[in-house]
Structure 1
Amino acid sequence: MKKIFIADDDAAIVDATSLMLELMGYNVAFTLNGSAILEEIKPIPDLLILDIWLSGIDGRDICRQLKADPVTKNIPILMISASREIKTSAMDSGADDFMAKPFEMQLLLQKIESLIST
């Protein structure tokens, strides 16, 4: 069973996304606390869905830290944000893909499948 970790401070998005992913057969873990991601991300997930604007920390900084660490550098990271104009900076920080919120669950599933299977 593939493990997906969600880091977003919007509880409604985490709840809806977690429920849908669990129904699709994924093992889902999450945090609403941006500053706790680096501690909570263990064991290493098959994919990280990471919000850019987290309480207390910028998701792009977390992405850079994860991609710089030999242990976590290969985790596919799908960054999400309510701001559509931020895609370039998300990709520049090392994200493997980007989605603007709100997003359609079918598109999210397609992106997850693509990122996990590569």
Structure 2
Amino acid sequence: MGFLRMWLCLNNAFLSIVEPSAGSDKLRVRARRKGDIERVFANAKVERTTGRDYLYRAELPRDQVARVVSQHVAGIDYNNFKDSVADKKLHDAYARFWSIMSNLQEIRPYSRDNGRGELL
């Protein structure tokens, strides 16, 4: 299966979660902003790692990461993710990400095109 990788866009943190080595019982949770890991994993021992792609990282038990991510999914109480993000800088980053990723969609969001070049 190879290494596992995931971006996790939460309304109070942006995290990258990777498997540090194949079959590891730990996951490496990484963040670009100070405090994001601790907001999600309160007792994490976070290291600051200059010269790496993510400045902050913590190694956590896989089952803990799965449990916390599951709790976040179970706790969703909004109908629009971007509107649930209070931090303006994080909100604006997600809005740009939304726009970039919308290019993958066969028909652009809010388009009146039916996908065959014909307007509806």
Which TM class, normalised by the smaller chain length?
under 0.3
Considering Cα pairs closer than 8 Å and 6+ residues apart, tell me whether 1 or 2 has the greater RCO: 1
More helix per residue? 1
TM-score normalized by the length of structure 2:
0.23
TM-score normalized by the length of structure 1:
0.23
Which structure has the larger Rg over C-alpha atoms? 2
